[in-house]
Amino acid sequence: MTAKLLLLEDDPAIARTVAYALERDGLQVTHSLLVHDARQQMASHRFDLLVLDVGLPDGSGLDLLRDVRNAARTASLPVLMLSAHGEEIDRVLGLELGADDYLTKPFSPRELAARVKALLRRAGNGASSTPAIAAPLFQDDEAGQRISLRGQALLLTRREYRLLSCLLRGAGRIHSRDALLAAAWGDDSESTDRTVDTHIKTLRAKLREVDPAREYISTHRGMGYCLDV
């Protein structure tokens, strides 16, 4: 079934680019220029996702977001917010009000399309669309040796689990290949730095399957790897 998306954006050039990128991906896009019009659209149609600008000629997208979250029918509707460059306060408010994701202008249409698809997938998987700041990005179930990203369980091998778990515990820090080897392989002397690199590569691919919009593991030349959250 075609996903239906409501786009609230008053800048015609941005709206055209966004609509083009999303329609090319097979989504059905309805475009509103005004908050008033978006309200009418939502009253008479069911949408799978809302893409929302903040500054509109007849009001604020944040007011609409508040009402969307307060209405039972739309409380869990995925919302992606477009915030103007430098408007940090809009972004913070938007996340507090329950936006699921945001993009700062200017953004690439490809990135927008990737995030929209990630949001739709999450919603389709029955994951609750609670605000991104309320739900932990990663959950490490150490007893079960399972890790989930954005509420979706990752299918990891034992080594991959140990690697990611180690990176998660020291998120934001650089881990040397030696440290990662020790954490994931213990005393297995067959393993080398190359083994770590190979496993990091497959890990990245698995993370990308859940969240194509972000690269979580960064490479630090000559030093090792870091999980950025």
State the nearest-atom distance from the C-beta of 63 to Ca ion, in Å. 14
- C-beta closer to Ca ion: residue 38 or 181: 38
State the nearest-atom distance from the C-beta of 82 to Ca ion, in Å. 8
| 24-83 positions binding Ca ion, by CB under 5 A | 53, 55
- C-beta closer to Ca ion: residue 53 or 101: 53
- C-beta closer to Ca ion: residue 61 or 224: 61
Q: Which residue is nearest to Ca ion (CB)?
A: 55
CA distance 114 to 211: 8
Q: Count interface residues toward Ca ion (CB under 5 A).
A: 3
Build a one-symbol-per-residue string for 80-119: x at contacts with Ca ion by CB under 5 A, - elsewhere. Answer: ----------------------------------------
State the nearest-atom distance from the C-beta of 90 to Ca ion, in Å. 11
- C-beta closer to Ca ion: residue 18 or 147: 18
* Cα→Cα distances 68→17, 122, 128, 211, Å: 25, 19, 15, 25
Please, which residues bridge with residue 83 across strands?
Answer: 104
- Count how many residues are written for the chain: 229
| 6-25 positions binding Ca ion, by CB under 5 A | 10
Report if residue 212 touches Ca ion, rule: CB under 5 A. no
- C-beta closer to Ca ion: residue 12 or 124: 12
Return the biggest CA–CA distance within the chain: 67
State the nearest-atom distance from the C-beta of 24 to Ca ion, in Å. 23
- Core vs surface per residue 193-204: b (16+ CB within 10 A) or e: eebbeebbeebe
State the nearest-atom distance from the C-beta of 162 to Ca ion, in Å. 47
Q: Which stretch binds Ca ion (CB under 5 A): 2-10, 108-116, 176-184, 201-209?
A: 2-10
Q: Which two tokens stand for residue 207?
A: 């993370």
Place of tokens 């209405």: 71
Q: Where are the beta strands (DSSP E) in the chain?
A: 4-8, 28-32, 49-53, 55-56, 59-60, 79-83, 101-104, 138-141, 146-149, 152-153, 174-175, 217-220, 224-227
State the nearest-atom distance from the C-beta of 51 to Ca ion, in Å. 12
- C-beta closer to Ca ion: residue 59 or 212: 59
Place of tokens 């399309």: 113
98 and 65 Cβ atoms separated by less than 8 Å: yes
Where does this chain bind Ca ion (CB under 5 A)? 10, 53, 55
